[in-house]
Structure 1
Amino acid sequence: MDSGSKLRKLIASYGDKEEFLRAAEEIIEEEELKRNNLLARDLRNMLYRPNSSINSFKSLKIPVDNERRLPLLEIKKFKKDWTDLVVTTKIRNSLESIIEENNKREILSVYGLKPKQTLLFFGPPGCGKTLTAQVLSGILGYPMVYIRFDGVISSYLGETAGNLRKIFDFIRDGRWIIFFDEFDVIGKQRDDPFEHGEMKRVVNNFLQMIDNHSSESIIICATNHQHLLDPALWRRFDDIILFDIPNKENRIKLIKRNLRSVRTTSMDYHLLADNMKGMSPADIEMVCLNAIKRNILDNKGTISMDDINKQLSNQKKRITYQKNYIKLKD
Structure 2
Amino acid sequence: MARGELMKKLLASYGRDDEFRAVAEQIIDEEEKKNNRVLARSLRKTLEAAPSRPPRPRGLAPLIPFPEAAGDFIELVEPVHTKQDIVLSLENVRVFIGLMKEFRRTDDIRRRGLPVRSKLLFCGPPGCGKTLCAEIFAAELGLPLYIVKLDRLISSYLGETATNVRKIFEFARKQPCVLFFDEFDALARARDDGGEHNELRRVVNSLLIFIDRITPKGFLVAATNLDQSLDAAVWRRFDEVIWFDRPDRRGVERFLNMKFKNVAISFDPISHAAELEGYSYAEMDRISVQAIKAAVIDMRKDVRESDFREALADERRRKHGSARLAQPT
TM-score range for the pair, normalised by the shorter chain length: 0.7 to 0.9
The equivalent residue for 1:192 is 193
When structure 1 is superposed on structure 2, of 259-268 and 148-157 the one drifting more is 148-157
Match of residue 26 from structure 1 = none
Question: 1:258 Cα shift?
Answer: 1.6
Is 1:301 aligned with 2:301? yes
Superposed CA deviations along residues 93-130 of structure 1, whole A, max 9, x for unmatched, are 11111111101112211211122100000111000000
CA distance in 1, matches of 2:152, 2:168: 11
Percent identity for Structure 1 against Structure 2: 31
Amino acid at match of 1:118: K
2:218 paired with 1:217: yes
Task: Give CA-to-partner distance per residue, 1:272-316, whole Å, 9 cap, x none.
Answer: 110101000000000000011111111122112222111111101
Structure 2 unaligned blocks of 5 or more: 1-7, 14-58
Q: Is contact 2:149-2:183 (8 Å) kept?
A: no
| Range moving further from structure 2, 235-244 or 187-196 | 187-196
One-letter identity of the residue aligned with 1:159: E
Distance 1:137 1:302 in 2: 35
Name the counterpart of 2:74.
73
Provide Cα deviations, 1:41-89, integer angstroms capped at 9, x if missing partner: xxxxx7xxx9x42xx45xx244335xxxx62311123264321220111
Aligned AA (1:259):
F
Task: Tell me the TM-score normalized by structure 2.
Answer: 0.78
What SS is found at the alignment partner of 2:162?
Answer: helix
Q: Which runs of 5+ in 1 are unaligned?
A: 1-11, 18-45
Superposed displacement of residue 254, structure 1: 1.0
How many Å separate the matches in 2 of 1:126 and 1:194? 31
Kept in 1, the 8 Å contact 2:177–2:219? The answer is: yes
8 Å contact 2:126–2:280 — kept in the other structure? yes
C-alpha distance 157-195 of structure 1, shift in aligned 2 (>3 A):
closer
Using a 3 Å threshold, how does the CA distance of structure 1 residues 78 and 326 change in structure 2: closer, same or farther? Answer: same
Aligned residue number for residue 124 of structure 1: 125
Distance 1:291 1:157, change over 3 A: closer
1:62–1:71 Cα contact (<8 Å) kept: no
Distance 1:149 1:237 in 2: 17
Match for residue 64 of structure 1? 69
CA contact (8 A) 2:177 2:218 kept: yes
Instruction: Check if 1:261 corresponds to 2:266.
Output: no
Q: Match of 2:326?
A: 326
> TM-score of the superposition, structure 1-length normalised?
0.77
Say if 1:79 and 1:102 are closer, same or farther in 2 by CA, change over 3 A.
Answer: farther
SS at match of 1:244: coil
Aligned residue pairs, count:
279
- The alpha carbon displacement at 1:172 in A equals 2.1
User: Deviating runs (4+, > 4 A) in structure 1?
Assistant: 155-158
Tell me the equivalent position of 1:30. Answer: none
